[in-house]
Structure 1
């Protein structure tokens, strides 16, 4: 079943960012947004009556900068911050990161291939340039998180992140689904990482559909090969709706 068959005006579309609508880059700041993607997202927003949101591990301000001039509803830092369709921003409580930061900085000093990314209430340690250090990164961050009340450890593709325990992509989607224009629609969430699995579970529990981009075990009901295939299918779905609308 293609997105052209799935995507209907009654859907609410939730999209992860890195590895989903855009290709993963060696460093977070090196990601590139294909020019046609902005037009596609704007058309999707119009087609779905505004019910399109980005659900990302990145902060809201980073997604806004990458999608400029487009400004969509957003959940950033895995749901720790969320901007609704009306522009209102909800911020979850944060917790001290000092011990996590100290541990990550000490490790990065010993291993220059590691990259630390600091966000509001969250700290990510990327080891994409040093994959052999995965076990050490996970153990170091886990030990620091266990000494930091209110934080939880989240593992992703070549990254391990300390974040507020109350934040998750699933909870962010649930919050959107209680608000217009998302309320009453069938939720569709598309993501690529283990951090997106809770989002897949959430939308499917709500009667919607999860779609996994790329390899790996998943609870999602459907899979796409890579971000390029997703972008192609989104464009094809829009084209099919345009043709269908013109013929009625």
Structure 2
């Protein structure tokens, strides 16, 4: 596994031989105060479609959100990908995602909701296979939220991961690296160089996995990371995707 470092190099453009695995919040879209307030730029869906054409369809979205939410925001697209950090897996667009259920998550969600459900500064989000406690409106309460999540997770044999202004309780061994690995075994993605792009600590497992499979990670924003390359923000991600699609179109025209 690559040692975390402060990478500053800009990533190479995508080619038709790559497979792209991309995070949603903070990568394709800006982080907002509450998950349901996310804003989709008008040119995002056409940009994803152009990138899909370059990659022969080998583009998957890997998110902590349920896939049904991603479908809603990216309509009419229904992309291959993984929701809830791999609890849901969809190999082909328009297919019904495969879902798994873990014991303990419902009890953890109930406990968090009893404790914080009426708190105007915090948001408890039960995703089904995981439960998230968002504190974007009260960053000073990060320690309190993390301690509460660890206490409840230990009680139910679950794991905790801390992201940007959120702490999530979820089953052990469930992470984005596992999701990417599962997709790389499928014909649509196998045999390609895997590229993973994301902005959060929850994406580090994805970065580590693609490195072991001959690919590379791209970190969006600041902070130490296992990723080899870096882009500054969401706008830079969009420009990189557009530049990749443009270069691919020129290559096809000259072939």
2:125–2:133: 8 Å Cα contact kept in structure 1?
yes
> Could you tell me how far apart the structure 1 residues matched to 2:75 and 2:154 are?
38
Give the gaps of 5 or more residues in structure 2: 1-8
Structure-2 residue corresponding to 1:97: 105
TM-score (structure 1 length as normaliser): 0.94
> Could you tell me how far apart the structure 1 residues matched to 2:160 and 2:153 are?
7
Q: What is the CA-CA distance between 1:118 and the residue it aligns to?
A: 1.0
2:130–2:168: 8 Å Cα contact kept in structure 1?
yes
Q: What is the CA-CA distance between 1:47 and the residue it aligns to?
A: 1.6
1:78 and 2:85 equivalent? yes
> Could you tell me how far apart the structure 2 residues matched to 1:109 and 1:92 are?
25
2:18–2:193: 8 Å Cα contact kept in structure 1?
yes
2:15–2:244: 8 Å Cα contact kept in structure 1?
no
1:129 and 2:123 equivalent? no
Q: What is the CA-CA distance between 1:229 and the residue it aligns to?
A: 0.5
2:220–2:233: 8 Å Cα contact kept in structure 1?
yes
2:117–2:123: 8 Å Cα contact kept in structure 1?
no
Q: What is the CA-CA distance between 1:156 and the residue it aligns to?
A: 0.5
1:245 and 2:224 equivalent? no
Deviations 1:131-154 (A, max 9, x none): 1110000001110110103x2111
Q: What is the CA-CA distance between 1:48 and the residue it aligns to?
A: 0.8
Structure-2 residue corresponding to 1:188: 195
1:60 and 2:85 equivalent? no
**How many matched pairs?**
246
> Could you tell me how far apart the structure 2 residues matched to 1:23 and 1:200 are?
20
> Could you tell me how far apart the structure 1 residues matched to 2:35 and 2:146 are?
19
TM-score (structure 2 length as normaliser): 0.92
- SS state at 2:202 partner: helix
Structure-2 residue corresponding to 1:116: 124
1:123–1:162: 8 Å Cα contact kept in structure 2?
yes
Could you tell me which of 154, 159, 166 is aligned with 2:166? Answer: 159
1:23 and 2:30 equivalent? yes
Indicate how the Cα distance of structure 1 residues 102 and 221 shifts in structure 2: closer, same or farther if over 3 A, else same.
same
2:10–2:230: 8 Å Cα contact kept in structure 1?
no
1:154–1:162: 8 Å Cα contact kept in structure 2?
yes
Q: What is the CA-CA distance between 1:90 and the residue it aligns to?
A: 2.3
Deviations 1:70-119 (A, max 9, x none): 11102000111111126253223312235423442244257420011111
- SS state at 1:6 partner: coil
